[in-house]
């Protein structure tokens, strides 16, 4: 084996090891949510942001806090409420006295952190939501004509509660599209509940360690983008995304019947990047069709827009995605 | 570098798998070809036995049959097999996560990448694929299977072998029955009994059993088939069709008389209206019939009857969706046949005629009736005038004036017709000229953009021209216009007859004068009849216009009907369950599913919360079957919240000239429980608003349909059963 070959295999191996350690460390605190942890880590490495949907008390905040601690990153949390203003998130200029004079000084908002938890994002007004979403896509904020770059990695994890929809401002489709994944946090099973009780109601509280650091995360992000994939596999992903468009010839019966619009090219990008991360996580050097199938639901479910009939029948996007994945031929 | 990596292990695996796949394909192809070959052998052998071909030719055909089998195998095996696809098949069977297929894809010369790291990763993936060959299971990926057509092929071979062994039948043919086709059918259906070597002289057919049977109608009798009609009152159940000819029994074939409504025996592609849709369509038909009766429009009643018949056929599974829609379109076409395309133009013509007639005292009443569009009265006035003429109640001067006025009006109508026709012709010529000009310009256009623009305009003009021509055609066929034309002719003739005696007043022949008056009177009666026809047609069109919304609903309901054979999973979203649950809740009964709807579960809410005395019960028990007498303590609901951000706006009204407007206060439902208003009133208020919005706003027809269906379901008459039971 040549030196270059050995080097690349070592790189992938260390990537896999680091990622496993990161998941294991998070797993010390977060029990029974392995898929969610994996999804969040994929978003972090894919350079995207995650939208978590789940009822209160399932450990969403704890997950983000734990993630920040394990990668030795700064963390901030914003609880979204209807009276929250954009300046409360991005920061504002305040007057300070200095050497007898007065001057404006920029007071940074909670968005200036590596990991930001936007709790119950749908409770804030669209104006405030868009301030955050703009920062998410640009990686910078502008206050009084002055642009401030956000520190990298910058990762937003927004949550929303599927219950109590009264008085909320649901995110429009165009803004939902900015999220890399939408992850649905399910209620833990019986065994997981036992473990949660054991860990949180006794003195035996697990201690977290920083298993990696920000710089390493950025390196891992670079490696992800280098992972190759065969043309036929990329073609499969393209056909899966096309099948979500009801007017396309690849569309399945359910998508024709219940969908108004399908996923955007951003959805396809998310699928491919996430599949690359999964390939590395599994210790492989290239993407497989199974990787596409594994990540497609999280990447597509918030990007499918149901039509009136779909809404009226209470159809879930996951059901349509499952049918698409089953119906789309591998080649 | 990729060239340096040895991928021979992967290639060996692929070659092995490919050989196995080709072998399997060859087997499949040979077996399929064997059926064809067997048929060839059978045909040539039979032909040789019949003496149609030489025995040698049959032997050659057997050789050809063998060649067909070989060719089938070769052609099937020779199909293209992509390396990557074969490798993926091995990946799938061996759980290798696309390692082999990816290695094959990356090893191709055109798969090289510029980025060094990506290239290294591709090489690593190829090496990984090579390592994975140890775990590959080619046998599992390409298992040998029994060819799908094997049974059919063996069956064909055995049959032919037997046929070759058995000597050809030389015995004389005896008449016998084969089967009934179809072997089931409802009372009144037609069936065919397939038979062989029947006598051309018709015999008799009976339905039933040997012990008890009855004769049935024979529609046609040929040596190979007997067409019969099952009696309309035939009992449902298993029976036999017994055939007799020349006093001898030819045997019997089984036949099952089935219920028309039994969907198991309906055509596969017949239309299926679910009970809910059917009830909705029937409600619309009932409305149509009521309106037809009220407005005395027999055509509409006929239309409703025709639709009823179609629904019956749909229920009996006799027609397909296409046939149903086609029949509906034809029925509508028949209903709209000879309709007037421009009612305003006809109304104006009648009004102008009335205006002119109103100027003369003799025809004043007739003229006023026409001006007011009261055609029924106009008909009566014409009849009165005819009577007066007949009974000689008009003075010579009045007759003279009447003659002149009728002549004037008839000429005015003719002139108006000519002007309209001229105008129409001019418009048509102008459009034709424009079309020609645009065609020329489009041909000479310098740029594609210009040509596209001109072609678009050309299409618009062509459409406009076609519309104009169609309108002219409709006008020519319009019942009203034809009646008007006859009316004009009758008036002209009446005027002519009235003017004759005036001219010959000094003449000698008084009988001739009387005859002229009688003829004028008769023509006026004819004119009255034509006026009546116009009146009838106008009423028909007005009624149709009023019913246009219901017609739209009918079309939508028919369009939504499904095919019985292509329904897929039965009621996948439990629509029927939801409908019955909705109807149950609407009657105030507790939902069978418990948590689906709040009002059914809380005490004191909603109508029908138990029977009278337990109106304030716990709500956990089964609800009563009638309206309750209890009510929510807080009848008026909570006071209006004042915390909202409201903004006062002064709206200034403007006096318009579009007619009166109505003022109405909509009372919202209480926040908790039902409003204390009568249900019927609340329903009527809301429905009126909804109808108005649907008429004025642009909404997709399917959305309108949902809303209409919702209101149909909560219609007071739909909720009545619970009340009726009491």
Token pair 């009918």 is found at B554
Contact predicate B104/B88, CB 8 Å? no
Q: What end-to-end distance do the CA atoms of chain A give, in Å?
A: 33
Could you list the beta-strand ranges (E) of B268-354: 271-272
- Dihedral angle, C-alpha B122, B126, B131, B133, nearest 10 °: 140
Query: What is the mean predicted confidence (pLDDT) over B366-372?
Result: 86
pLDDT tens-digit profile of B457-505? 999 999 999 988 888 888 888 888 888 888 888 888 888 887 765 544 5
Quote the CA–CA distance of A204 and B635 in Å, as a whole number. 57
Contacts of B97 (CB under 8 A, 6+ apart): A282, A284, A288, A290, B91
Cα nearest neighbour of A282 on chain B: B97
Query: Nearest-CA neighbor of B632 among B657, B665, B599, B654?
Result: B599
Cβ-nearest to B97 among A4, A229, A290: A290
pLDDT tens-digit profile of B523-557? 888 888 888 888 888 887 877 777 777 777 777 77
- In 3-state terms, what secondary structure has residue A40? helix
Token output for A204: 């035996």
Contact predicate B534/B351, CB 8 Å? no
Please indicate whether, in this complex, the C-beta atoms of A7 and B120 are within 8 angstroms of each other.
yes
SS percent in chain B: helix, strand, coil, step 5 = 60, 10, 30
Cα nearest neighbour of B121 on chain A: A285
Please indicate whether, in this complex, the C-beta atoms of A8 and B121 are within 8 angstroms of each other.
yes
> Chain A contact for B141, CB < 8 A?
no
> Chain A contact for B90, CB < 8 A?
no
pTM, two decimals, is 0.49
Rounded alpha-carbon distances, angstroms, from residue B15 to B12, B86, B95, B133: 5, 9, 19, 13
Please indicate whether, in this complex, the C-beta atoms of A230 and B84 are within 8 angstroms of each other.
yes
> Chain B contact for A125, CB < 8 A?
no
> Chain B contact for A257, CB < 8 A?
no
Cα nearest neighbour of A231 on chain B: B105
Cβ-nearest to B101 among A12, A230, A312: A230
Q: What is the reported pLDDT for B339?
A: 75
Contacts of B97 in chain A (CB under 8 A): 282, 284, 288, 290
Per-residue pLDDT 10s for chain A (331 aa) are 577 778 888 899 999 999 889 988 888 888 888 889 999 999 999 999 999 988 888 888 888 888 888 988 888 999 999 899 999 999 988 888 878 788 888 889 999 999 999 988 888 888 888 888 878 888 888 888 888 899 888 999 999 887 766 778 888 888 888 899 999 988 888 888 888 888 778 877 778 888 888 889 999 999 999 999 999 999 999 999 999 999 998 899 999 999 999 999 999 999 999 999 999 998 899 999 999 999 999 999 999 999 888 888 888 999 999 999 999 988 7
The more confidently predicted of residues B167 and B292 is B292
Token output for A290: 């199974």
Contacts of A226 in chain B (CB under 8 A): 115, 117-118, 121
Please indicate whether, in this complex, the C-beta atoms of A290 and B125 are within 8 angstroms of each other.
no
Please indicate whether, in this complex, the C-beta atoms of B121 and A308 are within 8 angstroms of each other.
no
- What is the layout of strands, in order, in the sheet containing B248-257? B176-181, B190-196, B225-229, B213-221, B204-208, B237-245, B248-257, B184-185
Instruction: State the nearest Cα–Cα gap between B208 and chain A, in angstroms.
Output: 48
Please indicate whether, in this complex, the C-beta atoms of B98 and A285 are within 8 angstroms of each other.
no
The more confidently predicted of residues B725 and B410 is B410
The full DSSP string for B27-67 is HHHHHHHHHHHHHHHHHHHHHHHTTSS-HHHHHHHHHHHHH
> Chain A contact for B706, CB < 8 A?
yes
Instruction: State the nearest Cα–Cα gap between A8 and chain B, in angstroms.
Output: 6
Token output for B480: 């009203």
Chains A and B form CB pairs within 8 A to the count of 81
> Chain A contact for B705, CB < 8 A?
no
Quote the CA–CA distance of B410 and A38 in Å, as a whole number. 91
Query: Strand B237-245 and strand B204-208: pairing?
Result: antiparallel
> Chain A contact for B643, CB < 8 A?
no
């Amino acid at each position: 084996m040549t030196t270059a070959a050995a080097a690349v295999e070592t790189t992938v191996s260390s990537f896999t090891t680091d990622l496993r350690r990161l998941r294991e460390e998070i797993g010390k605190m977060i029990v029974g949510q392995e898929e969610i942890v994996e999804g969040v880590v994929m978003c972090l490495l894919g350079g995207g942001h995650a939208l978590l949907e789940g009822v209160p008390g399932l450990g969403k905040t704890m997950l983000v806090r734990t993630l920040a601690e394990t990668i030795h990153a700064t963390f901030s949390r914003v609880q979204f409420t209807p009276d929250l203003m954009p300046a409360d998130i991005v920061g504002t200029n305040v007057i300070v006295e200095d050497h007898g004079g007065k001057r404006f000084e920029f007071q940074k908002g909670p968005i200036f952190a590596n990991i930001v938890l936007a709790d119950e994002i749908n409770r804030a007004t669209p104006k405030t939501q868009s301030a955050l979403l703009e920062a998410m896509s640009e990686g910078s904020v502008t206050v009084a004509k002055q642009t401030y770059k956000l520190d990298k990695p910058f990762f937003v994890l927004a949550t929303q509660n599927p219950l109590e929809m009264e008085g909320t401002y649901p995110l429009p489709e165009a803004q939902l599209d900015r999220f890399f994944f939408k992850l649905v946090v399910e209620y833990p099973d019986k065994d997981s509940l036992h473990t949660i009780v054991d860990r949180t109601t006794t003195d035996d509280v697990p201690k977290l360690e920083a298993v990696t650091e920000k710089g390493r995360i950025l390196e891992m992000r670079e490696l992800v983008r280098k992972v190759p994939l065969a043309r036929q596999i990329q073609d499969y992903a393209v056909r899966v995304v096309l099948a979500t468009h009801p007017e396309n010839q690849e569309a399945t019966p359910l998508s024709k019947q219940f969908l108004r619009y399908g996923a955007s090219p951003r959805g396809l990008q998310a699928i491919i990047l996430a599949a690359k991360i999964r390939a590395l996580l599994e210790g492989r050097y290239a993407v497989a069709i199974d990787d596409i199938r594994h990540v497609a639901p999280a990447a597509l479910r918030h990007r499918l827009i149901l039509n009136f009939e779909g809404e009226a029948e209470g159809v879930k996007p996951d059901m349509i995605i499952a049918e698409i994945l089953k119906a789309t031929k591998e080649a | 570098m990729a060239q340096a990596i040895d991928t021979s292990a992967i290639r060996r695996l692929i070659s092995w798998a490919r050989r196995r796949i080709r072998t399997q394909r060859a087997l499949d192809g040979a077996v399929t070809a064997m059926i064809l070959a067997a048929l060839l052998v059978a045909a040539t052998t039979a032909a040789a036995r019949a003496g149609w071909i030489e025995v040698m030719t049959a032997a050659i055909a057997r050789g050809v049959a063998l060649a067909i089998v070989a060719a089938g195998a070769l052609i099937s095996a020779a199909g293209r097999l992509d390396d990557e696809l074969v490798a993926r098949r091995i990946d799938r069977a061996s759980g290798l996560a696309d390692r082999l297929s990816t290695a094959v894809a990356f090893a191709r010369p055109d798969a090289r990448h510029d980025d060094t790291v990506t290239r290294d990763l591709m090489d690593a993936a190829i090496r990984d694929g090579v390592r994975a060959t140890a775990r590959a299971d080619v046998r599992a990926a390409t298992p040998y299977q029994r060819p799908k057509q094997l049974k059919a092929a063996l069956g064909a071979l055995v049959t032919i072998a037997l046929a070759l062994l058995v000597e050809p039948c030389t015995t004389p043919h005896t008449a016998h029955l084969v089967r009934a086709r179809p072997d089931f059918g409802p009372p009144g259906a037609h069936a065919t009994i397939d038979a062989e070597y029947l006598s051309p002289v018709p015999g008799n057919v009976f339905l039933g059993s040997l012990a008890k049977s009855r004769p049935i109608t024979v529609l046609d009798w040929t040596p190979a088939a007997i067409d019969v009609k099952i009696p309309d009152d035939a009992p449902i159940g298993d029976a036999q069709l017994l055939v007799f000819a020349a006093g001898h029994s030819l045997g019997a074939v089984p036949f099952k008389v089935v219920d028309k409504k039994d969907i198991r025996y309906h055509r596969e592609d017949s239309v299926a209206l679910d009970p809910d849709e059917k009830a909705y369509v029937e409600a619309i038909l009932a409305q149509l019939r009521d309106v037809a009766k009220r407005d005395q429009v027999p055509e509409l009643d006929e239309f409703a009857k025709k639709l009823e018949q179609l629904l019956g056929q749909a229920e009996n599974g006799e027609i397909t969706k296409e046939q149903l829609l086609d029949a509906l379109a034809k029925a509508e076409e028949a209903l709209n046949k000879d309709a007037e395309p421009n009612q305003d133009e006809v109304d104006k013509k009648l009004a102008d005629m009335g205006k002119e007639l109103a100027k003369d005292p003799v025809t004043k009443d007739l003229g006023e009736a026409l001006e007011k569009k009261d055609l029924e009265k106009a008909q009566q006035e014409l009849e009165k005038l005819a009577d007066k003429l007949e009974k000689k109640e008009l003075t010579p001067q009045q007759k003279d004036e009447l003659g002149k006025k009728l002549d004037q009006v008839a000429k005015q109508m003719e002139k108006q017709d000519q002007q309209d026709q001229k105008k129409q012709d001019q418009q048509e010529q102008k459009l034709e000229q424009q079309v020609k000009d645009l065609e020329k310009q489009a041909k000479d256009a310098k740029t594609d953009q210009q040509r596209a623009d001109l072609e678009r305009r050309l299409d618009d003009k062509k459409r406009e021209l076609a519309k104009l021509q169609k309108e002219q055609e409709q006008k020519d066929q319009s019942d009203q216009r034809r009646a008007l034309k006859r009316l004009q002719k009758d008036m002209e003739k009446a005027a002519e007859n009235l003017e004759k005696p005036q001219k010959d007043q000094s003449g000698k022949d008084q009988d001739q004068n009387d005859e002229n008056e009688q003829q004028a009177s008769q023509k006026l009666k004819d004119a009255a009849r034509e006026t009546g026809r116009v009146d009838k047609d106008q009423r028909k069109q007005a009624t149709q216009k009023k019913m246009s919304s219901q017609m739209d609903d009918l079309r939508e309901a028919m369009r939504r009907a499904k095919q019985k054979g292509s329904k897929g999973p039965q009621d996948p979203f439990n629509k029927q369950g939801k409908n019955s649950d909705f109807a149950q809740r609407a009657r105030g009964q507790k939902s069978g599913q418990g948590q689906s709807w709040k009002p059914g579960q809380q005490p004191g809410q909603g109508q029908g919360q138990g029977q009278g005395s337990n109106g304030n019960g716990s709500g956990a028990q089964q609800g009563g079957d009638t309206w309750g007498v209890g009510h929510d303590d807080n009848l008026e609901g909570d006071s209006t919240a004042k915390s909202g951000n409201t903004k006062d706006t002064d709206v200034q009204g403007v006096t318009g000239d579009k007619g009166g407007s109505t003022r109405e206060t909509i009372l919202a439902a209480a926040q908790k429980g039902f409003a204390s208003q009568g249900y019927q009133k609340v329903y009527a208020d809301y429905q009126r608003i909804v109808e108005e919005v649907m008429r004025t706003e642009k909404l997709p027809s399917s959305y309108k349909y949902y809303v209409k269906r919702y209101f149909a379901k909560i219609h007071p008459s739909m909720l009545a059963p619970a009340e009726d039971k009491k």
